[in-house]
């Protein structure tokens, strides 16, 4: 299995076409993993330009003035804003180097990256299966029956999805659903 970032920190991805339900599944998987005693972080990829800051805020003004990085910090959270300023988008490996150690990093998107991932597939989206041409897809989560060469898991059976992730990432056996 591919492991990047801090020693012992494992990664697992969820990939699929827009509208397939990746975010919905990840939002359901995170609390289940946490309930099982795991410390979880996420990386979310987007093809769209985004900004978590707003004009008029001091941090936005620091970036607008040309700062390469701005850290915003407070009692509840902190964030590092990094401007690529024409540089190539960082790789998953580079992002992991900036993250604190956890048990598992879930990666949403990055469908063309070679990390292990589960495809989220809905036939009604009208797009082809990714797993047919991507050996890094190790399972498919879909709402119905599907003939694929990797394990198929019911998209609505979150404990089964989490069990697969826990087993695949070789996380402690007590993290399996129903384990005491």
> In this structure, is residue 168 part of a structural domain?
yes
> In this structure, is residue 180 part of a structural domain?
no
> In this structure, is residue 64 part of a structural domain?
no
- What is the mean pLDDT of the segment spanning 69-79? 82
What is the percent of the chain where pLDDT is above 70? 86
Residues 6 or more apart in contact with residue 45 via CB below 8 angstroms: 107, 108, 109, 110
Q: Residue 12, Cα to own-chain centre: how many angstroms?
A: 7
Give the domain extent around 141: 10-47+88-175
> 93 — alpha (psi -120 to 50), left (phi > 0) or beta?
alpha
| Residue 162: predicted pLDDT | 96
| Residue 121: predicted pLDDT | 97
> In this structure, is residue 156 part of a structural domain?
yes
pTM of this structure: 0.84
Q: 5-28 in b/e burial notation, b at 16+ Cβ within 10 A?
A: beeebbbbbbbbbeebbbeebbeb
Per-residue pLDDT reduced to its tens digit, 44-55? 876 555 566 678
> In this structure, is residue 71 part of a structural domain?
no
Task: Compare 29 and 5 and report the one with higher pLDDT.
Answer: 29
- What is the mean pLDDT of the segment spanning 23-28? 96
Q: Domain of 25: which CATH number?
A: 3.40.50.300
Task: Compare 97 and 24 and report the one with higher pLDDT.
Answer: 24
Regarding beta strands 117-120 and 40-44, do their DSSP bridges make them parallel or antiparallel, or are they unpaired? Answer: unpaired
Burial of 60 (0-12, 13-18, 19+ CB in 10 A): middle
Residues 6 or more apart in contact with residue 114 via CB below 8 angstroms: 2, 136
> In this structure, is residue 15 part of a structural domain?
yes
72 pLDDT more than 60? yes
Per-residue pLDDT reduced to its tens digit, 87-144? 888 888 888 888 888 999 999 988 889 999 999 999 999 999 999 999 999 999 999 9
> In this structure, is residue 75 part of a structural domain?
no
> In this structure, is residue 148 part of a structural domain?
yes
| Residue 167: predicted pLDDT | 94
**Rounded distance, CA 90 to CA 95, Å?**
7
Number of domains in the chain: 1
Q: Which two tokens stand for residue 130?
A: 């990714």
| Residue 66: predicted pLDDT | 76
Mean pLDDT of the chain, nearest integer = 85
| Residue 93: predicted pLDDT | 86
Q: What share of the chain is helix, strand, coil (3-state, %, to 5)?
A: 25, 20, 55
């Amino acid at each position: 299995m591919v492991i990047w970032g801090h020693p012992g920190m494992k990664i697992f991805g969820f990939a699929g076409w827009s509208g397939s339900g990746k975010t919905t599944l990840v939002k359901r998987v995170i609390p289940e993993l946490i309930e099982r005693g795991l410390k979880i972080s996420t990386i979310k990829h987007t093809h769209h330009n985004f900004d978590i800051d707003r004009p008029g805020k001091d941090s936005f003004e620091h970036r607008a003035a040309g700062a390469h990085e701005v850290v915003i910090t407070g009692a509840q959270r902190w964030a590092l804003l990094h401007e690529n300023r024409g540089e190539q988008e960082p790789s998953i490996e580079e992002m992991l180097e900036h993250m604190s150690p956890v048990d598992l990093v879930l990666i949403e998107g990055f469908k063309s990256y070679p990390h292990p991932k589960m495809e989220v597939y809905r036939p009604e989206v009208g797009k082809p299966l990714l797993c047919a041409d991507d050996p890094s897809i190790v399972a498919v989560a879909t709402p119905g029956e599907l003939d694929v060469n990797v394990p198929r898991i019911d998209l609505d059976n979150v404990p089964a999805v989490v069990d697969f992730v826990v087993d695949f990432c070789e996380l402690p056996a007590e993290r399996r659903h129903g384990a005491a």
